[in-house]
Amino acid sequence: MRILPVLCVLILASVGHAQAWKDNYERGLTLAKANDWSAARMAFKDALKTRPNDESIATPFPGPITERRVWRGGAPYSANLLAAYSAIRQAARLEEKAAQDALLKEAQTELENSLTKRQAGSNAVFLLGEVYTMLGLADKRVELQQKGINRNWREDTEIIAPEQIAIVNPTGNAATTPTNPPTNPPTNPPTNPPTNPPTTPVTNPNAGTTGQAPVVGGVQTLSNKFALIIGNSESGLGELNLPFAVNDAQLVAQEINMYGGYPKENIVVVENATADVMRQKMTELAARVPAKATVMIYFSGVGSNVNDRDYLAGTDATGLLDTAHMLAKAELYQAFAAREAVVFGFFQANRPERTPTRVFGYELPTAGAYSQCQATFAGGSVYSLVRNGKPVGVYTDAFVAVLREFRTNQIPIIEFGWKVFYRARRGENGTTGGSAVQAPTLPELNLLGSDARF
């Protein structure tokens, strides 16, 4: 008769055991979506205390066999992967290189262990390669590239950046299974895109004739919205220059006034400027910005990363290390953060990997509330197409097309970023105007909610 009570105790213990990892895992997902990567990592690590191994298959709930139920709609369990991913996202926000490297090494060990246990799919391998790059472990990255990937291993990608998913899993196969997958996944991004844009713009027989007709009537402008738009087509950097950058600046200035609610008098356009002129225009605009204002920065030109800092090249720059003739991105953000402004940055620049950690866009500003987007993923290039007889950047073209679609002076940044992502990748309807070799990043937010508007 004592058997029954013992069985009850065992069953209750098992249920409590399952509840612990489940609650911690789901807490980790919630914290990650709130950009609290440190707490998210701890939650996933707590889940691992009672369920240490990632699993590709669905997790069934207890119940009768005739009513089979599975956890989170059949999603895989990827606590090790997501703990490591959270560490990488957390490391990106740290200011001290030693602390950043220490956290990246933890993620390295965790991802290597998953690979050794054969509990790693495409995303885990991609992340491990990125960690090797950030730590300067070029030999290990080469060694990793020679290993096979278990593309049948399913991974939970609910909190992984969509642009990474687009690169890693372009065809939407079973290797990754986001709980809420995008409705129109991009197709065929390159694994090793060229580092320099073509000298001849990518043209499209339909470009300039569809999708770019002006929308009738503009939107009401708001006095607390300001914009600094820089287009540098020229510099001493030769083939790294974007010959269409000035066209981009002029087009963006026109469209944000008409369809984004930015007053003409609050829009400063800087064309083919030296670093000193860019800095002067930045300072002049910042002096006019009231507290709590919205500031949009749009840069089209050459970017460089030197000693982990991002720079915008002036026309007087002669090389990627010539920071004396560049404007530091941190200086640009700080100028407006000092005015307590909310800054939304968009950067259209090539992002070649000169050395393992020298990629433009890797630096995250440390001051103020901001969002920043890159026109292409790390290692990628920006391209152009022709609109109304003029070459413009693919990213710029997508940017203004989505502005016209929203047609509001309160543009939701995350939704806007998604639409620009798909527009740049797929064109107007998946067949025209896009670039199969360019995938923009989605907005990276600091001290902003996903519903922030610019």
Q: Identify the pLDDT of residue 17.
A: 56
* Amino acid residing at 131: V
Q: Which residues of the chain have pLDDT under 50?
A: 1, 4, 6-15, 170-216, 430-431
3-state secondary structure of 373: strand
Among the listed residues 188, 163, 160, the one whose alpha carbon sits nearest the alpha carbon of residue 173: 188
Note whether 262 and 252 are within 8 A (CB).
no
pLDDT at 416: 92
Is there a contact between 119 and 99 (Cβ–Cβ < 8 Å)?
A: no
Question: How far is 101 from 1, CA to CA, in rounded Å?
Answer: 59
Map residue 70 onto helix, strand or coil: strand
Q: Where are the beta strands (DSSP E) in 266-356?
A: 267-271, 294-300, 303-306, 309-313, 326-328, 342-348
Dist CA 248 CA 298 (whole Å): 9
Q: Indicate the residue type of 449.
A: G
- pTM of the predicted protein model: 0.59
The pLDDT score that the predictor gives to residue 197 is 37
Q: Which tens digits make up the pLDDT trace of 144-177? A: 866 777 878 999 999 987 766 766 664 443 333 3
136, 119, 171, 212: which is closest to 399 by C-alpha?
212
Domains and CATH numbers, the chain: 16-168 (1.25.40.10), 225-446 (3.40.50.1460)
Please write the tens of the pLDDT for every residue from 101-142.
899 999 999 999 999 999 999 889 888 988 887 787 877 877
pLDDT at 163: 63
